[in-house]
Structure 1
Amino acid sequence: MVKAVITGAADTAVGRLEGSTSLGLQAEAACAAVADAGLSLGDIDGVLCAYSFTAPHLMLSSVVSEFLGIAPSYSVAVQAGGATACAQVMQAAALVEAGLCRHVLCVCGDNRLTGMSRDQAVAALSEVGHAEFERPYGIGVPPAYALVAQRYMHEHGVTREHLAGVAVAHRINAMRHPKAQMRTPISLDDVANSKVIASPLRLLDCCLISDGAAAVVVSAADAARDTAKGGVAILGTGQMNTHEHIVAAPSLTDFGCKQSAAQAFARAGVRPSEIDVAEIYDSFTITLLAELECIGFFGRGEAGPAILAGAMDIGGALPCNTHGGLLSYAHSGAAGGMFHVVEAVRQLRAEAEARQVADAELAFVHGDGGILSAHCSLVLGRS
């Protein structure tokens, strides 16, 4: 029996938002999500906030609640990199299922594009590396993912064209979204000829840097009856952390998304083949390609050719990242993962307009943080 539902979802404009602040963006998304649910801020009794690179605070959830003028009975900040948004939804579902809260606000946002210099961004990302065994030798986030890409290509026959196909598919989807940061068409050659960042990954294999925020409201099933749109059911959740630093990864080709997805599917009582639309973390082209295969949507070495054949398109075998993902829609820290959640909600509500997947009833959402380290999966269903 469904006990938790997403009753409200919203995101702000994305891209370069001059004059924006992390707190302002989070407040905008939060108020819009609460309004989307047909609730007032006074109805919110739980707040789960992410983290901010531009305005860090030890108790950011309390800061956001104070700014909104609310005093929730439960408030905490969640920090799991790109898995943060899905982990917030998973935790919010547990809170309402336990009867501790009725309506939990989950919000993420940052102004990473206009609020940070290039040096500040590089310094922030370098913190991901192990202080003793990685950072002194210069490895950063793109080189770590390039290491994964090199090994995955070696073991499973993935080609440069397959990686480029992931980037092109995202851009095609983003072109249908009026708010997407990048809507200019790109080709396989454009990706292949873009600047090398860390071989084999090129500029167009890498996610965007953006300003923006997104939020959802998770409500108890009985409380959802009084909301504006009824809600999207949270059918299954799962989480798995296999390592933190790439030097300690048990594998460079097999990741915790396999276990977290298996948990979510089992709890929802569905199979990967039953999913109508997927929104899966895509920090780099290799991230999505490897996760599609680890999760079980495609066999090893099969995702690349399938994507080149149109599998990710809204009419394809597995419509995926229908808003354009982190590669073309936007990526603003933890909000990047929340954009995926919001898009899944809109698909299940049939609110996606030109990018709508026909008759979408089941959605899968996945986020991962670090170097394919922390994983959280959601199965959502149309009410």
Structure 2
Amino acid sequence: MSLQSLRGSAAIVGVATFGQGEAHGFTDMEILARSARAAVADAGLKMSDIDGLCTASSSASMWSMPVVEYLGIRPRFLDSTMLGGSSFVAHLLPAMLALQSGQCNAVLVCYGSAQRTAAFGRREMVAARRHLDPQPYETPYEPMLPPSAYALAASRHMHQFGTTRRDLAEVAVAARAWARMNPEAFMRDPLSIDDVLNARMISDPLSVRDCCLVTDGGGAYVLVRAERARDLPRKPVYVLGNATAVWNRQISSMHDLTVTAATESGREAFAMAGLTPSDIDMVQLYDAFTINTLLFLEDLGFCKKGEGAAFVQNGGIAPGGHLPVNTNGGGLSCVHPGMYGIFTIIESVRQLRGECGERQIAGARTAVAHGNGGMLSSQSTAILATEEVL
């Protein structure tokens, strides 16, 4: 079996979100379960039809077990690989293999977090993560992670390629322009370049508006074999390619702060799909920080290395620009409950099904969903498409 033989063998047939923004009174598990049940219903299935499960959490080391228990399912396929925010994009290929082998028939991928409103405070959460996930060359110095890690990458990009804070601000302003057309988005107030430049500095050169939101939220999607997808009520969205690459854990272990493992995951995903960046109608990127968008546009091949700033200038990725990017508002303006990757898949599916109302990309047939985890550590790229592209 080759990766190319898996192209289009599985389709996403149901998606859902729950608790975007502030979900007062809900736990991580409850948010996950609401999303999961809604996604299964969206697929025209019952929870008893689910025999595969992919899930991950930064708050528990054995998260998949209580999820199985809470949802009342007995999966024959289980993947709880934890790669940070890219996990829910990286889950695609193992799920496709399990479906193709006949190990299971319907895979649920789900996530939930009450990061914003949880009684367990953010400071305590950061301290717990440092204990569970010590980074030997960085943790002893107690850096402000993750912002300072991404600030290093931004500073290097500025030094090496002449990128400016105004260029980074273009990314935040574009995300907000998309969010203003999305009823689910947490932040929908107007945002200008000057607003970003004059905002409170978090870690130079990143201001608070260069940094992702801290919200609650959950998301889920359901994956089945292509032949079954055609009999279900929703328009199938096919997975044409998926690849994951990890080159480092700590930001200090990157060989080049301006080049990420997305160069590898993107190349392999496009090869599996038999497409190139010029074939893509929209891109959903993990924009935990504004610098991410520039790096991933470059590394995935939408522009050359060092040209990300020019690519986003003058509303290049905003509504009406030359490439729609993060059409839900992204992690910068829509939702970011600790890990954002699953929302890149959900927005791609909704766009390809034509369900996005005011922000809908007319005639969209292809999408890239890209997840990032850790400090530019794990990268996973998915190529999704409608039936016309098969």
Query: Which TM-score band applies after superposition, normalised by the shorter structure?
Result: over 0.9
Structure 2 residue corresponding to 1:105, chosen from 94, 97, 108: 108
The equivalent of 2:66 in structure 1 is 63
Q: Is the contact between residue 22 and residue 111 of structure 1 (CA under 8 Å) also seen in structure 2?
A: yes
3-state secondary structure, aligned to 1:309: helix
Separation of aligned partners in 2, 1:142 and 1:263? 29
- Aligned positions of 1:1-383 closer than 5 A: 2-53=8-59, 56=60, 58-115=61-118, 116-124=120-128, 126=130, 130-139=134-143, 140-334=145-339, 336-383=340-387
Write the distance in 1 (CA, Å) between the matches of 2:173 and 2:271.
32
The one-letter code sitting in structure 1 at the alignment partner of 2:269 is: A
Alignment partners' CA distance in 2, 1:307 and 1:228: 38
SS in 1 for 2:296: helix
- TM-score after normalising by structure 1: 0.95
The corresponding residue for 2:4 is: none
1:308: how far off?
Answer: 2.5
Which residue is equivalent to 2:3? none
Percent identity over the alignment?
Answer: 41
Question: How big is the shift at 1:292?
Answer: 0.7
After alignment, is 304-313 or 22-31 more displaced? 304-313
Do 1:129 and 1:245's aligned partners in 2 also have CA atoms closer than 8 Å?
no
Alpha-carbon distance in 1 for matches of 2:220, 2:45: 14
One-letter amino acid of the structure 2 residue matched with residue 292 of structure 1? L
CA distance in 1, matches of 2:140, 2:184: 40
Q: TM-score normalised to the size of structure 2?
A: 0.94
RMSD: 1.5
Q: Deviations over 1:200-250 (max 9, x none)?
A: 011000001111100000101122133111410000111111111122112
Pick closer, same or farther for the CA change 1:152–1:124 going to 2, 3 Å. Answer: farther
Unaligned runs of 5+ in 2: 1-6
CA–CA distance in 1 between the matches of 2:306 and 2:137? Answer: 32
- Per-residue displacement from partner, 1:321-342 (whole Å, max 9, x unpaired)? 00000000010123x1111110
8 Å CA contact 2:265, 2:381 repeated in 1: yes
**1:160-192 CA deviation, whole Å, 9 max, x = no partner?**
100011111100000000010100111111111
* One-letter amino acid of the counterpart of residue 120, structure 1: E
The count of aligned residue pairs is 379
* Residues 149 and 124 of structure 1: CA distance in aligned 2, closer, same or farther (over 3 Å): farther
CA deviation map 1:26-68 (0-9, x unaligned): 0000001101100111111101111142xx2x43222112212
The unaligned stretches of length 5 or more in structure 1 are none
Offset at residue 89 of structure 1 (A): 2.1
